Every structure is written in C-alpha cells, then in structure tokens.
Structure 1
Amino acid sequence: MEKRNLRKERIGVVTSNKMDKSIVVSEVKKIKHPMYGKFVLKTKKYVVHDEKNDCNDGDTVRIMETRPLSKTKRWRLVDIIERAK
C-alpha cells in the first residue's frame, strides 16, 4: 500500500463563483510587521475546483491541495463550513 504525503489544507472565503466548476477563495492572515510591530492583513487567492458548483460568494470553505487540474487550479473543495447570510 502506498503512503501519501500530508496535504495542505486552508480555510477561506469564496470571493468569486463566476466560472464553471471553479471558485476563487481568499485566505486572510494577520501578520505582525517585523520592525514596527503593527499587524498587517495579507490576502492570498486560490483557484479551487468545485465539482458540484455548490459554493456562493461569501461562503466559508475548507480547501485541500491536489494535483494540477488546469493552468491555475491546484486546490479542491473539501467542504463548506458556513453558508453566506
């Protein structure tokens, strides 16, 4: 039996679902500035594979790293944590 490496998981908010079977998820981190000590918001965007076209803008989702599915898609949807209100 093959042993698979541990895959990265992220939690983020859906910012776009205009594409077919694809969504854009933004992950926001609070990073402390090394010199000034102020907390700065850093945003990272991921293009995610959404097989069932389930997600809507504002949903909080969990995504997992996977093999390259297209030019920019390297993540897939695991589950929807919270629906947008």
Structure 2
Amino acid sequence: MTSNPEETIKKVVHRELEGEIVSTSGKKTVKVRVDTKKLHSKYRKLFTTSKKYAAHDEKGIAFIGDTVVIQECRPISKTKRFFVKQVVKKAE
C-alpha cells in the first residue's frame, strides 16, 4: 500500500461573497454588508436578510460605498475571517 502524497492532499474551497462596505473601522479593516434573499417557508415570499462581515484590507484600496468581493481565509483576528479580494464597483 504505497500512498501518493499528492492524492491525500485535499483542495480547500473558500467562500466568496459580494457586498457593500458600510464602515472602515481600522486602518486595515472594513465592514462589508452582504445581502441574501430567502424564501419564507409558510408565505412563500422572498425577503432580504443582511449580515455584516469584518474583512481584512491590506492595501487600503476599499472605501465606504464600494462594492467588493471578499474571500474566506484563516482567522486573522477575533472577528476577521475574510479578506478583500477585489473592488467590483467604486462608490460615486
């Protein structure tokens, strides 16, 4: 039973979310609001829920009102588990 080390390595798929920056709390931290649509189980109506994620912005490229893509990563701090991957749309 020879095991090839390449076969045992699993590729980790990180979540990517798109949202709008609502605040810049620190030098390298931004708060991103991600809106998702859900269906009510009884009334069968769509409604919008939102959740805020703290994301790491190493280069300081994102500002309030920008639409960004954040990607899941290892824990950077107590609340930060995402980093800013790219800015999709700048605020006007």
* Residue of structure 1 in register with 2:80 after alignment: 73
- 2:24 equivalent among 14, 17, 22: 17
Q: Show the 5 A alignment for 1:1-85.
A: 2-85=9-92
State the distance in 2 between where 1:47 and 1:24 align. Answer: 5
After the TM superposition, list the runs of 4 or more consecutive aligned residues in structure 1 that deviate by more than 2 angstroms: 1-4
Q: Which runs of no fewer than 5 residues in structure 1 stay unpaired?
A: none
Inter-partner Cα distance in structure 1 for 2:15 and 2:37? 19
TM-score by length of 2: 0.86
Which one has the bigger helix percentage?
2
Give the counterpart letter for 1:70 in structure 2. S
RMSD of Structure 2 on Structure 1 (CA): 1.2
Report which of the two structures shows the higher radius of gyration computed on alpha carbons.
2
AA partner of residue 57 (structure 1): I
Once residues 66 and 35 of structure 1 are traced to their aligned partners in structure 2, the CA distance between those partners, rounded to angstroms, is 36
Counterpart secondary structure, 2:17: strand
Displacement after TM superposition at 1:4 (Å): 3.0
